[in-house]
Amino acid sequence: MEEYQMGPGRVWKPETAGERAYLPEPLEPERLPAPAGRDGPAPVRPRTEAGGSELEAAVSPSAEMDPKKEGAETETAGSALTETGPQEEKTETEAAVSAEAETEPKKEEAETETAGSALTETGFQEEKAETEAVVSPSAEMESKEEEAVPANAGAEAKKPLSNEAVTGHTASLWKYLPVPAEEPEPAPETLRLYQKYGGGVVTAARVRGKKHKHEGTNCDDWYEVSGFQNLLFAAVSDGAGSKRFSRIGARESCRAAAGCLRRELEGLWTPALAADAALDIGEPRCMAACTALAGAVQRSVLKAREAVESAFYTRVNAPAYEAVLGRPLELRDLSATLLVTVVIPSGAGGRLVISCQVGDGMIALVDRKGPFEGSVRLMGTADSGEFSGETEFLVSPKMSSLEALQSRTKLSWSRSDLLLMMTDGVSDDYFPHETELRRLYFDLVANGILEGESSGELTEERLRLCRKLPQPLSYPWVNDQRVQVPLHYTRRILETAGLTREDLWRDGTALAAARAELEEQLALPDPARRLERWLDNYVERGSFDDRTLVIAELT
């Protein structure tokens, strides 16, 4: 047997294998552009993820379990539903207990009270959320040169490069090419929506990824949001990047799912059903109501699949598609993921959320008023294999039955007041989701898309903190390299100011001070435009996919 060398000068033997561990690239804060006029101290490394999750795990569930909430989380509606993780469960219970302490006794009351708050309060108003996607031409932004350009590729070659050094180098290499005019069914460059409805307000946007801009190809993401009374229906889809017409699958599935859900709920939703859904989960009537609602969600996914199939059949013989592909169109050319969610207010500030997810992306609920631990509840589990990018699609043969969708259906009662639905172009940048989706929430606040908790007086300590904040980081806009777009990154805020995520959760001062610096961002007339600009411009290394984010602030 010969000997094999591993690396220069090292001899490889099978027995001693595995000694070489990959060393993660350390962040190099000193490479960041120095904040002008701010003498920041040496940046402090943020707490590690491991620390955060240990902390979470250490929290013991509250002794008092609210029977309603507790029951709600477990084994709902039999096989049709899968409960969310136990970790969120307990925190939810805590939150429910503390917030509802005075509103006891509940059981019987819940019936009437919920029916009241869910329905009569809004007085069966005309549906408010007739939402249409606003198609905007590329937003006009003033050209403004900022000095805070990311550090360029490092001179010291041996040290591992920071991600910012790499993105600083690649920033000028990304090209912008418009969508090809000759391809059938071009997708709009951006979509956005800002819409109040009976149960809250929706802010959504979708942007074409740098990859597609660079290559002059279409955006493959889509979303649809619709409402009925105080119910919200949302669908998000990401067309497979390797399939030239996956955008059609994404669009058709979203439209069909949102449309189907609305029709189903319009037919299904009665004051009696609303009351049943708000009952204790142990009640058979509640079980029946939830099964009916979850069934509607699953049928909407099947409808979406049918819609994609029928979209395929109407195009299969059209020469325009074959001309682009160089072969006949196939069903798998329309491969796309699908995430569907229904939000149903169930009285007393609580709500029932039912979701079904096929493929990657993420659905999450955030309880902005709750404690730090357990504030994020994941409503989906992305299908993924051992290696990245191995995902399921709606047109996969195994997605054709209700049974297949049952394990993908999740149901949750909670007091969470923020729903986030996104394609993997966004969710991949916030991984692992359990801890990092809080960072997404912080990024949304820091960049003026969501309102933060208004903090009290500006104390001396808070002022000191604000002086330690990093300047926004600017990258050139891919669409026009002359435009620099300053944005905030929570990761940098944590690092430079020496804060933890929990600090930010408890006290919004730092984020509020950070957002106040983003004048151009705040000058935009509505949160959807800010969201669109942020999605279109935040830079993460290796993140150049289409980005879609639907945010529902639930009231």
Partner 1 sequence: MSDYIRRLPVYLLLDCSGSMMGEPIEAVRQGVKALLSELKGDPQALETAYLSVITFDSSARQVIPLTELMQFQEPELKASGATALGGALNVLMECVNSEVRKSSETQKGDWRPLVFILTDGAPTDVEAFGQAARALKGMKAANIVACAAGSRADTTYLRQITENVLMMNTLSAGDMARFFAWVSGSIKMSSKSLDARPGAAIELPPPPDGFVIVP
For position 480 contacting partner 1 by CB under 8 A, the verdict is no
Q: Which of residues 133 and 504 has its CB atom nearest to partner 1 in the complex?
A: 504
Shortest Å distance, C-beta 96 to partner 1:
26
Is residue 537 a contact point for partner 1 (CB under 8 A)? Answer: no
Q: Tokens 């090809």 map to which residue?
A: 180
Counts for the chain of helices (H) and strands (E), in that order? 19, 16
105 burial via Cβ count (<10 Å: 0-12, 13-18, 19+)? exposed
Interatomic CA distance for residues 60 and 328, integer angstroms: 58
Shortest distance, position 479 Cβ to partner 1, whole Å: 15
The yes or no reply on residue 12 touching partner 1 (CB under 8 A) is yes
Q: Which of residues 217-256 bind partner 1 (CB under 8 A)?
A: 240-242
Smallest separation, CB 448 to partner 1 (Å): 23
Under the binding rule (CB under 8 A), the answer on residue 161 touching partner 1 is yes
Q: How many residues bind partner 1 (CB under 8 A)?
A: 64
Closest distance of CB 305 from partner 1, Å: 18
Q: Does 27 bind partner 1 (CB under 8 A)?
A: yes
Question: Interacting stretch for partner 1, rule CB under 8 A, among 124-132, 170-178, 281-289, 294-302?
Answer: 170-178
- The first and second tokens of residue 467, run together, are 């002086």
Determine which residue in the list 312, 413, 538, 544 makes contact with partner 1, applying CB under 8 A. Answer: 544
By beta-carbon proximity to partner 1, the closer residue of 27 and 149 is 27
Residue 505 contacts partner 1 per CB under 8 A: no
Q: Which residues contact 16 (CB under 8 A, 6 or more apart)?
A: none
Scan residues 305-344 and list those touching partner 1 (CB under 8 A). none
Rule CB under 8 A: say whether 180 interacts with partner 1: no
Interface with partner 1, residue 174, by CB under 8 A:
yes
User: Smallest distance from the beta carbon of 248 to partner 1, in angstroms?
Assistant: 17
Q: Which positions from 42 through 61 interact with partner 1, judged by CB under 8 A?
A: 48-49, 53
CA distance 359 to 394: 7
Assess 153 for contact with partner 1 (CB under 8 A).
yes
CB nearer to partner 1: give 221 or 553. Answer: 221
- Near partner 1 by CB under 8 A: residue from 51, 78, 86, 160: 160
User: Is residue 23 close enough to count as binding partner 1 by CB under 8 A?
Assistant: no
Interface positions, 420-439, toward partner 1 (CB under 8 A): 428, 430-432, 435-436, 439
C-beta closer to partner 1: residue 27 or 65: 27
199 close to 554: Cβ distance less than 8 angstroms: yes
Report in angstroms how near the CB of residue 246 gets to partner 1 at its nearest: 10
Query: Least distance to partner 1 from the beta carbon of 267, Å?
Result: 37
Containing 547, the helix (H) or strand (E) segment is strand 547-554
Binding flag, residue 388, partner 1 (CB under 8 A) = yes
Tokens of 246: 């996956």
Give whichever of 17 and 63 is closer to partner 1, judged by the CB atom: 17
Which one among 18, 123, 284, 397 touches partner 1, defined by CB under 8 A? Answer: 18
For every residue of 146-208, which 3-state class applies, written as one string? CCCCCCCCCCCCCCCCCHHHHHHHHHHHCCCCCCCCCCCCCCCCEEEEEEEECCEEEEEEEEC
Q: Which of 62, 82, 170, 400 binds partner 1 (CB under 8 A)?
A: 170
Crossing angle of the two packed helices 433-446 and 509-516, in degrees rounded to 10? 50
| Of 31, 211, 285, 299, the one binding partner 1 by CB under 8 A | 211
Give residue for tokens 């869910």. 118
446 φ, ψ (degrees, to nearest 5): -65, -25
Which of 6, 272, 318, 516 is close enough to bind partner 1 by CB under 8 A?
6
Exposed/middle/buried for 256, CB within 10 Å: 0-12, 13-18, 19+? Answer: buried
Specify the DSSP class assigned to residue 30. Answer: G
Interface with partner 1 includes 201 (CB under 8 A)?
no
Q: Within the chain, what is the greatest distance between any pair of CA atoms? A: 82
CB nearer to partner 1: pick between 413 and 505:
505
Helix axes 433-446, 490-497, angle to 10 degrees: 90
By C-alpha distance, which of 383, 385, 420 is closest to 404? 383
Phi, psi for 296 (deg, rounded to 5) = -65, -40
Contact at 8 Å (CB) between 336 and 239?
Answer: yes
DSSP type of residue 54: H
Identify which range of 73-81, 289-297, 370-378, 382-390 contacts partner 1 by CB under 8 A.
382-390
Six-digit token string for 147: 């000095």
Is 390 a binder of partner 1 (CB under 8 A)? yes
User: Taking each helix axis from N to C terminus, what angle separates 509-516 and 460-467, rounded to the nearest 10 degrees?
Assistant: 50
Residue 390 corresponds to which amino acid?
Answer: E
Q: How many CB atoms lie within 10 A of CB 59?
A: 15
Rounded to the nearest whole angstrom, what is the least distance from the CB of residue 161 to partner 1 in the complex?
A: 6
CA 217 distance to own-chain centroid: 24
> In this complex, which beta carbon is closest to partner 1, that of residue 169 or of residue 285?
169
SS3 label, residue 27: coil
Q: Where are the beta strands (DSSP E) in 435-546?
A: 473-477, 480-487
Residue 176 CB, nearest approach to partner 1 (Å): 12
Q: Does 536 help bind partner 1 (rule: CB under 8 A)?
A: no
Q: Which of 98, 371, 491, 500 binds partner 1 (CB under 8 A)?
A: 491
From the CB of 488, what's the least distance to partner 1, in Å? Answer: 16
Q: What DSSP designation does 246 have?
A: H
**Separation of alpha carbons 124 and 284, rounded Å:** 26
User: What are the residues binding partner 1 (CB under 8 A)?
Assistant: 1-8, 10, 12, 14, 17-22, 24-25, 27, 48-49, 53, 153, 157-158, 160-161, 163, 165-167, 169-170, 173-174, 210-211, 214-215, 240-242, 384-391, 428, 430-432, 435-436, 439, 491, 540-544
